[in-house]
């Protein structure tokens, strides 16, 4: 791959190949030997704990050289655009940029720069607005594969603030491609009927006992600026209507898993008492994130023949 900005273009075979590579790394597999240095910067224009840190760990494990960049203390604060910032990075010899930004599809101008541009660095998308979160999606697929060994025939329920979630956007599409059946639940005002082509919307109490995988989503308050439903939001009412409480947890299938991209709003999407419950796989998701991000970065290194890799 030349860039890794979306899961839209990946075939089922490519997804499975990345999962197998990540599983190889998780099992202690050797990393490829770089014969030339590769410089990578993590440019997070939106906050992050899991994604930022696990990309950093993945880069170090692969032997990449991290170039520190913090938008809050950079010339972005003087009005420099992201495009111009990346021109600087490229000019300084940075090979890859892992970027998170609040603008949907921010990467389009970077991977298809203007005709006379000098920008030619690899872009890895660490989350764009409410668009895509490909590395989260890929680590989620790895976690499902690790637990069930297959996707065909699995029932996956995506629950919560679906319209505003970039995790949901990436996952519904890739799950369909891998042969899983997708279902949705949550407030109807945070559901868009454009998603009907990916799966069926169901009341939560009908859905919980039927699913193999329950994917909970964080309520994205920061994206509700012009949303009249935000003013009506209350944690107690959301938890009662759309959250996984102890009673709903006790009704899930014995072998079902519950996933959440994090950070979790305790007693909103999920009862705080259940965060470390046996069927909740949040910690495994985070661990898998490092190995999957290694596999994704390696795919881009090979695609661009960086570090002497073919
Ligand atoms: N899942 C996720 O993107 O978490 P962070 O915002 O902490 O990176």
pLDDT tens digits for range 28-84: 999 999 999 999 999 999 999 999 999 999 999 999 999 999 999 999 999 999 999
**Contacts with 30 (C-beta within 8 Å, 6 or more apart), sequence order:** none
CA distance 243 to 310: 47
- For 135, the enclosing helix (H) or strand (E) is helix 134-148
Residue 276 has which token pair? 């470390």
Preceding omega of 263 cis (within 30 degrees of 0): yes
Contact 204, 184 (CB under 8 A): no
Residues of the chain with pLDDT under 70: none
Residue located nearest, by CA, to atom 5 of ligand 1: 48
Main-chain dihedrals φ then ψ at residue 191, nearest 5 degrees: -130, 140
pTM of the model: 0.95
Q: Is ligand 1 within 6 A of the CB of residue 53?
A: no
C-alpha 30/C-alpha 97 separation (Å) is 24
Structure tokens at 7: 């899961």
Q: Please tell me if the CB atom of residue 50 comes closer than 6 angstroms to any atom of ligand 1.
A: yes
Query: Which of 42, 50, 222 is the best mutation target for the ligand 1 pocket, counting ligand atoms within 8 Å of the beta carbon and taking the most?
Result: 50
* Any ligand 1 atom below 6 A from CB of 136: yes
* CATH code of the domain made up of 134-283: 3.40.50.1370
**Residue 78's CB: how many other CB atoms inside 10 A?**
6
Distance CA 8, CA 195 (A): 15
126 C-alpha to center of ligand 1: Å? 9
- Report the C-alpha gap between 292 and 19 in whole angstroms: 7
- For the annotated binding site, the residues are 50-51, 78, 100, 133, 136, 166, 218, 262-263
Which atom from ligand 1 is nearest to the alpha carbon of 51? Answer: 8
What per-residue confidence (pLDDT) applies to 284? Answer: 98
List the Cα angle 81/66/263 in 5-degree steps. Answer: 75
Distance 49 CA to ligand 1 centre (A): 6
| Nearest alpha-carbon partner for 123 in 16, 69, 43 | 43
Q: Residue 46 and residue 128: Cα distance in Å, rounded?
A: 9
Specify the 3-state DSSP secondary structure of 231: helix
Q: Which atom of ligand 1 is nearest to the CA of 262?
A: 1
Of ligand 1's listed atoms, the one at least distance from the Cα of 126 is 3
CATH code: domain 12-131+287-308 is 3.40.50.1370
Q: In angstroms, rounded to a whole number, what is the distance separating the alpha carbons of residues 182 and 214?
A: 10
For residue 258 the two structure tokens come to 């519950």
Q: Where in the chain is the domain with CATH 3.40.50.1370?
A: 12-131+287-308, 134-283
Take residue 239 and report the two structure tokens written for it: 């938890």
Q: Is the shortest distance between the CB of 285 and ligand 1 below 6 Å?
A: no
Q: Is 46 in the pocket of ligand 1 (CB under 6 A)?
A: no
- Cα 182 to chain center, whole Å? 17
Question: Can you give the pLDDT at residue 174?
Answer: 95
Tell me which long-range contacts 222-231 makes (C-beta under 8 A, separation of at least 24): 223/129, 223/130, 223/164, 224/164, 229/187, 229/189, 229/190
Give the pLDDT of residue 114: 86
Cβ of 48 closer than 6 Å to ligand 1, yes or no, is yes
List the helix and strand counts (H, then E) for the chain. Answer: 11, 9
Any ligand 1 atom below 6 A from CB of 49: yes
The continuous run of DSSP H or E covering 157 comes out as strand 155-159
Report the length, in residues, of the chain.
310
């Amino acid at each position: 791959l030349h860039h890794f900005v979306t899961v839209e273009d990946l075939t089922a075979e490519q997804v499975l190949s990345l999962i197998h590579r990540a599983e190889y790394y998780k099992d202690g597999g050797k990393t490829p030997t770089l014969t030339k240095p590769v410089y990578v910067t993590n440019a997070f224009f939106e906050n992050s704990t899991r994604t930022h840190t696990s990309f950093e760990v993945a880069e170090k494990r692969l032997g990449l050289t991290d170039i520190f960049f913090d938008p809050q203390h950079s010339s972005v604060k003087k009005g420099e655009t992201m495009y111009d910032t990346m021109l600087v990075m490229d000019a300084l010899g940075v090979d890859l940029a892992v970027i998170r930004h609040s603008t949907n599809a921010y990467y389009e101008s970077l991977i298809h720069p203007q005709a006379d541009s000098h920008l030619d660095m690899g872009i890895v998308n660490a989350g764009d607005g409410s668009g895509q979160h490909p590395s989260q999606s890929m680590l989620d697929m790895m976690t499902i594969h690790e637990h069930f060994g297959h996707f065909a025939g699995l029932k996956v329920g995506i629950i919560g603030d679906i319209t505003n979630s970039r995790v949901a956007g990436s996952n519904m599409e890739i799950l369909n491609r891998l042969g899983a059946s997708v279902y949705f639940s949550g407030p109807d005002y945070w559901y868009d009927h454009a998603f009907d082509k990916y799966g069926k919307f169901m009341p939560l109490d009908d859905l919980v006992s039927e699913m193999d995988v329950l994917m909970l989503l964080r309520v994205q308050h920061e994206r509700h600026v012009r949303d009249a439903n935000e003013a009506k939001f209350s944690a107690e009412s959301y938890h009662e209507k759309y959250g996984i409480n102890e009673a709903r947890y006790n009704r899930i299938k014995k072998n079902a898993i519950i996933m959440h991209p994090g950070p979790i709003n305790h007693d909103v999407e999920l009862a705080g008492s259940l965060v470390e419950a046996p069927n909740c796989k949040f910690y495994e998701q985070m661990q898998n994130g490092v190995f999957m991000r290694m596999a994704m970065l390696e795919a881009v290194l090979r695609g661009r023949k960086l570090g002497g890799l073919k």
